[in-house]
């Protein structure tokens, strides 16, 4: 079974600094998708960034980037120039691609990392 | 272009009552997924529905929980005879189909409190 582990329950960062959130996962699949979701106090689940496992290049979305290490099954999120609005719970999630058979529509989430941004 | 709409946002029920949670997917999306978030936990898959069909309910508790997505109207997650352990945030997500590898569009959830 696939599992997603976020080993940092809480993290804090100074405004304008950089922070990295860790995520590891366990799977026997060779092709899959990884996601980072942001959940602010409003509870809305917001997709931050997505990585396809077959792509060697790390995904980047503005100030958000990932360090995807497939062999190590690691998928960390780096937030550069942190802003007060980045304060939220961050969830790492995994899914196998459509067409892979089985439950390819299910997202498996980690328990989350609560990020605090200090002014 | 509204996103996934869930209501109510907060729901308080006494033990033994019924809870009905509603989810209107993004317009044009025919696939709906329900997830539950217990305190201090990530989201856990409950059920996957298409219009008038339950595709996978493997994450649903065997008793008291049911879900539907009728041809017309929102998807409904129904919890009968609620107990304190049902207190959680329930999220709905939708997608146009599963052939695209989206991370889905989520609603803001319904927080159910059982007193």
pLDDT at B1 over 70: no
pLDDT at B33 over 90: yes
Q: Cβ contact (<8 Å) for B98 and A104? A: yes
pLDDT at B109 over 80: yes
CB-CB: which of A35, A43, A108 is closest to B109? A43
Identify the residue whose tokens are 């929102």.
Answer: B74
pLDDT band for position B40 (cuts 50, 70, 90) = confident
Query: Residue B46, Cβ neighbours under 10 Å: how many?
Result: 21
Instruction: Give dist(CA A1, CA A70) in Å, integer.
Output: 17
Q: Cβ contact (<8 Å) for B56 and A103? A: yes
pLDDT band for position B100 (cuts 50, 70, 90) = low
In degrees rounded to 5, what are phi and psi of residue A27? -155, 155
**Residues of B (52-71) whose Cβ lies below 8 Å from A:** 55-56, 58
Q: What is the per-residue pLDDT across A8-33, written as a single tens digit (0 to 9) for each?
A: 999 999 999 999 999 999 998 888 89
What's the CA dihedral at B36, B37, B39, B42 to 10 degrees? Answer: 140
CB-CB: which of A37, A99, A111 is closest to B41? A111
Q: What is the per-residue pLDDT across A37-55, written as a single tens digit (0 to 9) for each?
A: 999 988 889 999 999 998 8
**What separation in angstroms does the CA of B99 have from each of A9, A97, B50, B59, B103?**
33, 8, 14, 22, 12
Mean pLDDT in residue range B24-53: 91
Q: Cβ contact (<8 Å) for A43 and B108? A: yes
Which positions in chain A touch B26 (Cβ < 8 Å)?
none
Question: Could you give the percent of chain A with pLDDT greater than 70?
Answer: 93
pLDDT recorded at residue A42: 87
Question: Could you give the percent of chain B with pLDDT greater than 90?
Answer: 76
**What separation in angstroms does the CA of B28 have from each of A86, B2, B62?**
31, 11, 30
pLDDT recorded at residue A34: 94
pLDDT recorded at residue A98: 63
Chain A with chain B: Cβ pairs closer than 8 A:
65
pLDDT recorded at residue A20: 98
Average pLDDT, chain A: 92
Least Cα distance to B110 among B85, B82, B87 occurs for B87
Which positions in chain A touch B58 (Cβ < 8 Å)?
103
B91 near A CB under 8 A: yes
Q: What is the per-residue pLDDT across A109-119, written as a single tens digit (0 to 9) for each?
A: 999 999 999 99
Average pLDDT, chain B: 91
pLDDT recorded at residue A102: 58
pLDDT at B45 over 60: yes
B48 near A CB under 8 A: yes
pLDDT recorded at residue B48: 93
**What separation in angstroms does the CA of B81 have from each of B8, B11, B36, B39, B66?**
18, 14, 17, 21, 12
Instruction: Give dist(CA B61, CA A100) in Å, integer.
Output: 26
Q: Which residue of A has its CA nearest to B41?
A: A111
CB-CB: which of B58, B91, B99 is closest to A45? B91
pLDDT band for position B98 (cuts 50, 70, 90) = low
Measured distance between the N- and C-terminal CA atoms of chain B, rounded to whole angstroms: 36
């Amino acid at each position: 079974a696939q599992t997603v582990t976020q080993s940092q329950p809480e993290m804090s960062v100074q405004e304008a600094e950089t922070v990295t959130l860790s995520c590891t996962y366990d799977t026997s699949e060779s092709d899959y998708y990884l996601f980072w979701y942001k959940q602010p106090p409003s509870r809305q689940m917001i997709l931050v960034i997505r990585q396809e496992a077959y792509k060697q290049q790390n995904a980047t979305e503005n100030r958000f980037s990932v360090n995807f290490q497939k062999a190590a099954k690691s998928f960390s999120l780096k937030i550069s120039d942190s802003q007060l609005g980045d304060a939220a719970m961050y969830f790492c999630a995994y899914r196998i691609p459509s067409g892979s058979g089985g439950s390819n529509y299910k997202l498996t989430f980690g328990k989350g990392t609560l990020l605090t941004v200090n002014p | 272009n509204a996103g996934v709409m869930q209501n109510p946002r907060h729901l308080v029920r006494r033990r033994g009552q019924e809870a009905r949670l509603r989810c209107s997917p993004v317009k044009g999306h025919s696939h709906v997924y329900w997830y539950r978030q217990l305190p201090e936990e990530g989201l856990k898959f409950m059920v996957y529905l298409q219009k008038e069909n339950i595709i996978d309910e493997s994450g649903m508790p065997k008793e008291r929980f049911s879900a539907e997505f009728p041809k017309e109207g929102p998807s409904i997650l129904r919890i009968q005879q609620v107990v304190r352990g049902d207190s959680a945030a329930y999220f709905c997500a939708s997608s146009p189909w599963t052939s695209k590898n989206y991370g889905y569009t989520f609603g803001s959830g319904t927080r159910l409190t059982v007193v």
